[in-house]
Amino acid sequence: MHSCAPGSGPRARRKRQRYVEKNGRCNVQHGNMRETYRYLTDIFTTLVDLNWRCSLFVFVMAYAVTWLFFGAIWYLIAYCRGDLDHLEDEAWTPCVNNVNGFISAFLFSIETETTIGYGHRVITDQCPVGTMLLLLQAILGSMVNAFMVGCMFVKISQPNKRAETLVFSKHAVISLRDDKLCLMFRVGDLRSSHIVGANMRAKLIKSKQTQEGEFIPLDQTDISVGFETGDDRLFLVSPLVISHEIDVHSAFWDMSQAQLEKEDFEIVVILEGMVEATGMTCQARSSYLAEEVLWGHRFSPMMSLAEGFFDIDYGAFHHTFEVDTPSCSARELALAAARLDAHLYWSISSRLDEEPTLAEQAAKQPDGGSAHSKAGEPIFTVGEMTDIQEQSALGELNGSVTTDQSETEA
């Protein structure tokens, strides 16, 4: 029985800017960056991070520019050698057969870089410059293919979409577990292929001011979800309820239900693991504002035993129900429990002190070793057993035993 009464009453909703959206997108934009050249030093990651529209545009332009560039060079070679002036001269050996303009030179550039080789346009052995250009285009074309195809492959195989099937509950709850206040939220995986080595982390995002007066906006504080005991490593084959015990090391140690309604914070939860199908690392994120933390609620069960398997009802994934929960903080709840334990301890000690010991009972017996009532009947004295074992031994030393009537008459 708790000394704090369950709290109830509507909560005033507050509008707060999220640091992390419910879908996991970080609501942060970088501005006034003057060192933009750093993006070019890691051009591969820059291209992979582009959205699909820009990525497809870069992909098309990379090939189109190289084809046009080398097509212009092939046309320039034909123009400088005079091949365009001897199109009808069968005795003339051009650098590239059947190149009679820029369009034909562009088509030959495409055939060379893509190694199509239709056989109509072909370089001759009378053009050393064309031979060197052919080698250069083949090498650069292979590099462009490797770079652009690699970017597209990495972008397609990114595990970002895998996080779409990792779901978090809409609300977090605070209720009692084993007589301790706990902050809980639920996480589940909708796919049959599992997340290998799933690991859960949680952060408290809250601005604070230090003792020196320094203001730290959006300060990040770790919220323990079982790192010390290994409970943060999940076997995520069915939805799990992640629990944070509000103890003396918790950031919510002094927070009561009334204070929760006035607080302004955000809890960011992060699930990381390896995708079983691809072996790539995946991260899913979500967040809970203060108004999305329900005090005195518990998640509804969603697992049932069917014939030969366990059935998961994802329709109840976000459902919660109210339970009796103290409205006081975890600190006040711990102090109330400590006062109750101290009261019980002193009550038991006082009762033990008031009870006569076996030694005192043996000292009150007559010297004859037996006591008779006024009616002449014997009185049987039995030593009382207490929690203190020394009293039993002391009673035996003082001769506290049961007296039989036949022994008295003898």
Extents of the domains making up the chain:
36-157, 162-331
Q: Are 127 and 77 in contact (CB under 8 A)?
A: yes
Give the list of residues 6+ apart from residue 140 with CB closer than 8 angstroms, or none.
Answer: 66
- Gyration radius from the chain CA atoms: 42
- pLDDT for 41 beyond 70: yes
State the pLDDT confidence band at 389, using cuts at 50, 70 and 90: very low
- pLDDT for 395 beyond 80: no
Instruction: Give the β-pairing of 303-305 and 195-209.
Output: unpaired
- Residues 358-380 have a mean pLDDT of 48
Q: Give the Cα separation of 234 and 200 in Å (integer).
A: 7
Long-range contacts of 126-130 (CB under 8 A, 24+ apart): 126/93, 126/95, 127/77, 127/81, 127/94, 127/95, 127/96, 129/77, 129/95, 130/74, 130/77, 130/95, 130/96
The average confidence (pLDDT) of the chain is 82
pLDDT at residue 182, as a whole number: 95
State both tokens at 230: 């290994």
This prediction has a pTM of 0.69
| Domain 162-331, CATH number (from 3.40.50.920, 2.60.40.1400, 3.40.50.970, 3.40.50.2300) | 2.60.40.1400
Q: Give the Cα separation of 311 and 238 in Å (integer).
A: 10
Q: Give the Cα separation of 354 and 348 in Å (integer).
A: 10
State the pLDDT confidence band at 245, using cuts at 50, 70 and 90: very high
Q: What is the dihedral of CA 77, 80, 86, 87, to 10 degrees?
A: 40
Q: Give the Cα separation of 187 and 292 in Å (integer).
A: 15
What is the dotted CATH code of the domain comprising 36-157? 1.10.287.70
